[in-house]
Amino acid sequence: MTSFLPQFPLSANPLLLFGLLLLSGLAGGELARRVLHLPRIIGYVLIGLALGTSGLGLLDAGLVKQAWIVVDIALGLILFELGRRLHFTWLRNDRWLLATGLLESALSFGCVYFALIYFDVKPIFAALAAAIGVSTSPAVVLLVAQELKAEGQVTERALNLVAMNSVIAVILTTMLLPWLHHEYRASWTMIALHPVYLLGGSLILGYLASVVAILFSRWVGKHAERQLVMLLALIVLAIGAARMLELSVLLALLAFGVFSRNLDARHDLMAVELSGVGQMFYVVLFVVGGARLDVLGLMTGGAVAVVYVAARFVGKSIGVMSLTYFSGARAGAAGLLCIVLTPMSGIALALVHETSNLYPGFGAELASIVLSAVLILELIGPVAVQFALRRAGEAKDQAERAPGAA
Partner 1 sequence: MSEMDFKRSPELSVGVELELQILNSRDFDLARDAADLIALLEKTPVPGAVKPEITESMVELNSSIHKSHDTLVAELKTIRDAVTQAAQRLNVRIAGGGSHPFHMWADRRIYPTERFSLLLERYGYLAKQFTIFGQHVHIGCPDGDAAIYLAHILSRYVPHFIALSASSPFQQGEDTAYQSSRLNTVSAFPLSGQIPFVQSWDEFTNYFNKMRGFGIIESMKDFYWDIRPKPEYGTVEIRVFDTPLTVERAALLAAYAQSLARHILTQRPLAPSRDVYVLYSHNRFQACRYGLEGKIVDPYSQRQVGLKDDVAETLALIAAHAAELGNADALARLQAEIAADRTDAGWLREAHRERGSLNDVARMQSDLWMGLDLKAG
Here's the x/- map for partner 1, 152-171, by CB under 8 A: it reads as xx--x---------------
Q: Identify which of residues 94 and 365 has a Cβ nearer to partner 1 in the complex.
A: 94
Check residue 151 for interaction with partner 1 (CB under 8 A): yes
Instruction: Decide if 274 contacts 228 (C-beta within 8 A).
Output: yes
Query: What is the nearest approach in angstroms of partner 1 to the Cβ of residue 391?
Result: 15
Whole-number Cα distances in Å, 94 to 53, 260, 333? 46, 21, 15
Q: Minimum CB separation from partner 1 for residue 277, in Å?
A: 17
Shorter beta-carbon distance to partner 1: residue 225 or 400 = 400
267 binds partner 1 (CB under 8 A): yes
Does residue 391 bind partner 1 (CB under 8 A)?
A: no
Using the minimum distance from each CB to partner 1, give the nearer residue, 327 or 372: 327
Query: In terms of CB distance, is 185 or 396 closer to partner 1?
Result: 396
Of residues 179 and 216, the one with the C-beta less far from partner 1: 216
Q: How far is the CB of 81 from partner 1 (least distance, A)?
A: 11
Nearer to partner 1, 34 or 222 (CB): 222
Question: Residue 298 corresponds to which amino acid?
Answer: L
Least CB distance from residue 233 to partner 1, whole Å? 21
Q: Residue 362 carries which side chain, given as an amino acid letter?
A: F
Residue 405, exposed/middle/buried by CB under 10 A (0-12, 13-18, 19+)? exposed
Candidates 189, 331, 361, 397: give the one binding partner 1 (CB under 8 A). 331
d(CA 149, CA 398): 10
Nearest to 100 by CA among 364, 406, 320: 320
Burial class from Cβ neighbours inside 10 Å (0-12, 13-18, 19+) for residue 308 reads buried
Among 270, 306, 310, 380, binds partner 1 (CB under 8 A): 270
**168-180 b/e (C-beta count within 10 Å ≥ 16 → b):** bbbbbbbebbbeb
- Answer for the pair 76, 291: CB distance below 8 angstroms, yes or no: no
Q: Is 391 exposed, middle or buried (0-12, 13-18, 19+ CB in 10 A)?
A: middle
> At its nearest, how many Å lie between partner 1 and the CB of residue 151?
5
Shortest gap between Cβ of 403 and partner 1 (angstroms)? 5
Rule CB under 8 A: is residue 335 a binding residue for partner 1?
Answer: no
- Rounded Cα distance between 362 and 224, Å, is 45
Q: How many residues bind partner 1 (CB under 8 A)?
A: 30
- With contacts defined by CB under 8 A, name the span among 162-170, 209-217, 240-248, 323-331 that binds partner 1: 323-331
Q: Are 254 and 166 in contact (CB under 8 A)?
A: yes
d(CA 44, CA 50): 10
Q: Is the dihedral of CA 183, 186, 191, 194 positive or negative?
A: negative
Contact status: 329 vs partner 1 (CB under 8 A): yes
CA distance 124 to 61: 26
402 binds partner 1 (CB under 8 A): yes
Q: Of 299 and 405, which has the nearer Cβ to partner 1? A: 405
Part in contact with partner 1 (CB under 8 A); list of ranges 240-248, 249-257, 265-273, 299-307: 265-273
Here's the x/- map for partner 1, 87-106, by CB under 8 A: it reads as x-xx--xx------------
Question: Is residue 328 at the binding interface for partner 1, with CB under 8 A as the rule?
Answer: yes
**CA 152 to chain centroid:** 21
Closest by Cα among 90, 148, 91, 136 to 275: 148
Contact 238, 61 (CB under 8 A): no
State the nearest-atom distance from the C-beta of 248 to partner 1, in Å.
26
Binding site for partner 1 (CB under 8 A): 85, 87, 89-90, 93-94, 151-153, 156, 221-222, 265, 267, 270-271, 327-331, 394, 396, 400-406
